[in-house]
Structures are given as structure tokens and as C-alpha cells.
A and B are shown apart, each in its own frame.
Chain A
Amino acid sequence: MTVISESVKEMEGYNLHIVKTEKFKTNTLVWKMKAPISKEEVTLRALLPYVLQSSSKKYPSSTKLRAFLDELYGASFYVDLAKKGDYHVISFALEIANEKFLSDKTPLLRIGMEFLAEILTNPNVANNAFEQDTVEKEKRTHKQRIQSNYDDKMKYSSTRLVEEMCKGERYALHVHGEMDEVAGITAQSLFSYYKKAFSEDELDLYVIGDVSEDEVAAIAHEKIKFSPRQPKLVERSEAVAEREVKTINEVQDVKQGKLNIGFRTNIFYGDEDYYALQVLNGIYGGFSHSKLFINVREKASLAYYAASRLESHKGLMMVMSGIEHRNYEQAVAIINEQMAAMKKGDFSEQELAQTKAVIRNQLLETIDTARGIVEILYHNVVSHQNITLDHWLEQMERATKEDIVKVAQKIQLDTVYFLTGQEAVQ
């Protein structure tokens, strides 16, 4: 069985990935650009997509641009930033109705691709600078965007854990950059960064929908061209040697304590051990049948949520839970006990089987959305591998109890972060 059939074509300066499927009533285009995340450029890079999406030469104001998208049957267009391991990834996503389902038969896919090309290659620029006003407005919004991370305590505590745990590593940088750096950005400096990014980044275009591959390739070839490049890669960081567990308590005016715990797995996407690690995470904390949910929530009644997730391109596993301040010790103890149980192989064949079934289900569900398909396929670009989803599922199904216990041995507790409303009682 082939669950996704992806065709990849080498284009000028980028790869074109097409997934032809009839299940959607829309066509989805996602443009991705990836570069190593760096302290010097992270804030510039984070601001760039917001400036690009707000106007272009042809659509010089955001009102004109948005009116054009509304006319295209409300095409949805948005940008997104992500950290994938040591890389900073920008996405531009356009989802546009398939005219097959409309009484009006305007060729929307072609118009959509032309629009995307316009945004990427024809920005509103004069004298080697973006338009001043736009840049200033977007800087203001961007500051608010950075600041809003503080107001959402679940996000805040996750970011703080990474900051503490990965101090000195690229991964500690924030996806939206630094507040202090925003003011210094100028319309000129942002435009030079634009040129740099489009000549050095690794570029990929995904087209998902009921499309003709030849037609898409022809339009892409005609409209979107960049110079050839050799993508910059970051060497995989050395495994961090086991060190003393770092404990951070931060006091703020919050009603619920947020407990975030970071483990180093030192296992990356596509590694031999990676599939067993996925199953391990599933048994430990990935689902509502997992050990964390059962023991922290159902048995001890300490929390509404208690879960773990993997950062596959950085070799980390993160646990998160919201608890009462006074239950900190007990919650940490349970979370550690459950990890000890994983290391001892203290889990049943049934837990193993049900976790595999749920992981398979989750992946198959993910590819029922166009964005899900893109995100799954993009793992291969980030890791420079070529793992099909079928292979992924097969390897995951093969993981044995022994494999999982072996993987569990490699997992090191690194940092315990607690955002609490109450000073520690001595």
C-alpha cells in the first residue's frame, strides 16, 4: 500500500513536490524556506514573511491584496514560522477553491500560483528597500507577537524550558526572534536579508490537490525561478553528556502551576532507534491511554493534562502538565517513576500494541488534511532523508519491547522547569 504518492521535481533553485489526490475540494500550495537558525538573523528572518505577505508591487496595500484573495473565492493565505531542530523554517500557505466545485470556472490554480510567485518575487520595493511604512507597521505588530508569548502561560512555560535546557545552543533561540532586535531593523536591512534568504535558503514548493502534475510543473517553471544553490546544513550536535539535572522555579502571578520537564533522547528523525522512540513516547505520554495520563491525571487526580511529545529534529522529549503549586513534588515524582518504569520495561504487550495502533491511526488521520501531508513530507527535507510513510509505519510496527527498553536507557532527564504562583516554602 502506498499511503501518499509524492512526486518530486527539481526546478530552478527549488524542489517541487506534488501530491495528487481527489479528496479535497481545494488545492493547497505551501512554499517553504529553510536556513540554519542564528542569533544574528533570527529576528530579521522572523519579520520577513509578515512584510512579504502584506503587499507586493502588483498589490501595493494589504487592502488590495486581501480584496484580490476574497475575489478568488476567499483563498486563505497565511505565513507561519517554525523551528525544526537547528533550522528556522518559513512557510507561505495558500489554499484555494477547486473550480470543479463552483459554478464559475475561472482557472483558480493558475491564478493562485501566479499570486504566490508575485508575493515571493515581486515585493513592494524601491531603491533597494521595502516600503518604509509597511516595515514600520509590521515591526510594531511583530513586537506584539513576541510579547504575546508571555500572556499565554502554557506557551510561555514551554519556551522557558527550552531556553533553560538548551542555553548556548541554536535551539534556544525564539521562533519569532528577540524583542530588542526589532527596533534596529530598517527597510534596507530587511531587503538585503530578503535577497540573501532567497539566494541561500533551501526552497521547496508543495502542491496538494486534484491537479495535473504536468500543468503544475509548467506553471511553476514559467513563474517561479531562483538561482541554484547548495543548501546550508548544520552538523548534528554532539550528544550532550549526562549532567546534573537543572531545576528552575519561576514565580509569577498565576493560579495554576505549569510543570515542564525536558529529556534528552539524542535520537533524531530517521535514526535506527527513532521508531522505537516514537512508540516509547506513545506509551509514556503521547495519548490518553498513556502512563502520564493514567497516573498523573486519572489515578492521582493532580492535573487536567499531562503529556509528552518529541522534538524529532533535536533529539528531545518534553513533558508538560498543569498542577496546583503544592503538588509539585508529587507530580515530579510520578513523572520520574513512570520514566523509570519505561527503563525497566515495565509495560505490557497490550500497552505496546494499543500504542502502535493509535500512532498508525494518528498518522493516517494527519494525511487527511493537506497541511498534514506537507508537514509529514517536509520531515524528509529537514533531515535530508527519503523515508516514505509506508516505511515509517512498517519500522514503527516492528519495534519490540527490547528495542524500547534499549531506547529508554538512552533517555536522560535534563531540566525541570516550574512556573509557580507561590514562593518555595523553606
Chain B
Amino acid sequence: MEKITFEQLQEELYYEKLANGLDVYILPKRGFNKTYATFTTKYGSVDNHFIPLGKEEFVKVPDGIAHFLEHKLFEKEDGDVFQQFSRQGASANAFTSFTRTAYLFSSTSNVELNLETLMDFVQEPYFTEKTVEKEKGIIGQEITMYDDNPDWRLYFGLIENLYQNHPVKIDIAGTIDSISHITKDMLYECYNTFYHPSNMLLFVVGPVDVEKIMNQIKENQAKKPFESQPEIKRRFEAEKKEANEGKKILEMNVQTPKCLLGIKALHHDQSGMEMLKNELTTNVLLDMLFGKSSVNYEQLYNEGLIDDTFSYDYTQESGFGFAMIGGDTSNPEQLVARLKEMLFAIKNGGLTEEALLRTKKKKIGGFLRAVNSPEFIANQFTRYAFNEMNLFDVVPTLEKMTIDEVKRVANEFISEERLSVCQIMPKKK
């Protein structure tokens, strides 16, 4: 077991790679009541074209299957895993993102028992035609719920504009039609391919006895006969550099228009420190441009173009990434025009050392606030690890960042051809 100490943060992290390939991390948090554990596979909605375990040919699976599988893993022959967790005083959940499926519990008692349940339910699938059919109604309602949600439609509308081929443009839950084609055999095929321990990471954070928990995990895993698995072969069609479409307007039953401007990532092949630097620098740039202490923010607010729903963010994964800027606005066209002016103006100067220093301080404080949260630590650490980055490199990387790096990113990243806009407008009566 390896121990990594973060002195400034006064945290310790323990790590071991088990014989079956599973990465296990434990971060003890003293003073906390709850233990939070996530068991995550590097398998999300974008992994829809791959060679199934033991086969030779690529297959394409229905949209929404990773999320469907996440739902179905909770059901067992003898009942529902939610029930078992709550009998053990825990609260359990799961989520599927573009690139990950995570199963988790939090509990303030019976931690070992709950951890055992977590590992076992994820590693013992039980799918039947009957239960698969039943789930279609439930997920159908989840999809319909999102269909009525204007922020969700705006977000996916923009991704669809940015990407032509990459499956990031497909809604994580799929559509009512796409999930109607899912069968139990397909679920097993996806499960067997992506849920091997060598494709997974287990993170435990809370007031735990590290040694004891690590031993428990090892014993649990040693009991299960996993054969070593070859590397998973995924396929993604080539994606052009430019945004696929420049603009889209969706009409919905809303009173206030919504508008997001997006910029497609320039680098689709980064990982590790290179990716961390690029992602962090782009986020610092956005913060200097549009943070609440920026002149731009003040102007947009004074001009009545934004309100407190205004936000901005940049995320990058292997194969895709995007910045998104916007929120509710009474005048989407004018907001877009002003945002573009501000984005392109910054390429000609205006990024100051002073503003960078302030943003760095803000981000460092934000990180301290975030590590109060066991959920943040476990989920973000896993996301970083799957991209060969280390979450705890964030603060040192921020500290080292120079204004020239920010300027370089501004110059290469902001580009008309990779920019797109999506708007939600009130339906005309």
C-alpha cells in the first residue's frame, strides 16, 4: 500500500493496485460522520462502438445502454439493492456520465457491511427479459422529465451543434425509441466488456481504519475469479475541427429565453499533465474573462443581458471537450454579440498579471472549499485518474501558471470556426 501525503491540505491518500487490476484509493477524513464510497467503471454513454469481450468484430449498441445498465444493476433475484442498503442504514445511488458509470453509497454506520454490498452488487449482474422490460417504463419517464427541462435541452442542443460524429452528442439516457431495442443479452455483453476490475476504480473517503478497509477490499476481490482481460477496443469516428453547426434555436414552453455559447475543444488527444494544464488554464481564462469581478460581467449585468443564472465552464475528456458560457437572458442575440466581442477582444490584450493572481487565489480557495466534500473528492479524483491526471496536482499547477500560458490558450482556443450558439425561445402562441 502506497501512502501519499498532501502537507498543505493536511490530507493523506492511500493507494494500491490489486492483483485483478482494480485501483483502490482510501482517504481518511477524521471528524466526519459519514463514509462515502464510489465504485466506478470507465464506461459511459460515449462508449457505444467497441469489440465485445471474446469477440473479434466491432458492434454498435443502442443509445442509452450504459445508463440502462446502471439502473438494472440494482435489481437482483432476491430484490432490490436499495432495500438492502437502507436496511444497513446507508443511502445508495449511481450515475452515468459521458465517460463513467459510478455506483456509490454513503453511511454513518455499518461501513464495512455496506462496502461489501457495494462491491458485490456491482460485480454480480442479474438481468432478465422481464425486469429489462419493466425498466423501460421508468427510464422512459426519466427521459420525458429531461425533455421538459429547458436547461438540459439547451445543454445538449449546444453539444449537438458542436459535434458531428462523436457520441458525446447523444443524450446519456438515450431516447424512448433507442432503449426499446435493449435486451438482456446486450446488457451482459456491455457488462462483460466494461466491468472488469482492471477498468474500474474504488474510492473510499471517511473516518475509516485504512488498513482494515484495504484488507477487506482485497479479501473480497480475491474471492472472485476474474481472468485477466485484454485491453478494451473502442472506436470513434473521425471528428472535424470546426463546430458542426453555428446556431440552433429551440422553442419551448418557457417565459425567459436561454442562451449558451459554446467553443469546441482544440485538443482531442491530450491526457495526464498536459490535459490538466490545458483544462485548468482554459478555466482560468474564462474566469478572468467572465468572473463576477470582471469588467465584462459588470457590463453584461448593467446592460441587462445576464442575471444570476449566468455561468461558464470548460471540460475536456479524451476525444471531446467544450467551453460553455451563458444563462437566462432577455435578449439572446445581443448577448451572443457581446460575448463574441469580449472573447475576440481578449486576443488583442487585456489579460493582466493582477487579474491572474486574483483568479488563482479564488481557484485555490475554491479547491479548499471543495475538499470539504467527500463526494467531490471521490468523484473528481476518479474522473482525473481515468484521464491519467491527479486531482491533487490542481493547486500546485495553478500556483505555477503564468500569464503567458493564459495568453497562449486564449489565442489558440478562441476561434470563430469552433464556436456555436444554442438558444431556447418561448413558443409563439
Contacts and interface: CB of A to CB of B under 8 A. Distances in A.
B307 A144 contact: yes
A364 B145 CA distance: 31
A362 B107 CA distance: 8
A63 B293 contact: yes
A350 interface: yes
B348 interface: no
Interface string B318-347: 000000000010100000000000000000
B90 interface: yes
A322 interface: yes
Given A26-B368, A144-B256, A150-B255, A289 B82 contact: yes
A297 B139 CA distance: 10
B116 interface: no
Nearest to B106: A365
Contacts of B220: none
B144 A322 contact: yes
A58 interface: no
Contact of A101 (B9, B83, B292): B9
Interface residues of B, number: 71
Given A71-B361, A288-B86, A61 B254 contact: no
A357 B89 contact: yes
B368 A101 contact: yes
Given A95-B369, A141-B307, A368 B9 contact: no
Interface residues of A, number: 75
B292 A367 contact: no
Interface in A248-300: 252-256, 287-289, 293-294, 297-298
Contacts of B134: 301
A291 B369 CA distance: 37
Nearest to B75: A298
Given A148-B328, A301-B138, A66 B307 contact: no
A67 B419 CA distance: 29
Contact of B144 (A3, A23, A255): A255
A355 B328 CA distance: 40
Contacts of B373: 369
Contacts of B297: 63, 66
B81 to A, nearest CB: 10
A298 B83 CA distance: 12
Interface in A351-390: 353-355, 357-358, 360-362, 364-365, 367-370
Contacts of A350: 87
Contact of B371 (A25, A151, A357): A25
Interface of B: 8-10, 29-34, 80, 82-83, 86-92, 106-109, 134-139, 141-142, 144-145, 147-150, 253-256, 291-295, 297-298, 301-302, 304, 307-309, 328, 330, 358-359, 361-366, 368-369, 371-374, 427
Interface of A: 3, 21-26, 61-63, 66-67, 69-76, 95-98, 100-103, 137, 140-141, 144-145, 147-148, 150-154, 252-256, 287-289, 293-294, 297-298, 301-305, 322-324, 350, 353-355, 357-358, 360-362, 364-365, 367-370
11 contacts: A63-B297, A66-B293, A67-B293, A103-B8, A252-B253, A255-B147, A303-B141, A354-B83, A354-B87, A357-B109, A361-B34
Given A150-B254, A289-B82, 8 more contacts: A24-B372, A25-B371, A26-B372, A100-B10, A144-B328, A153-B148, A360-B109, A365-B91
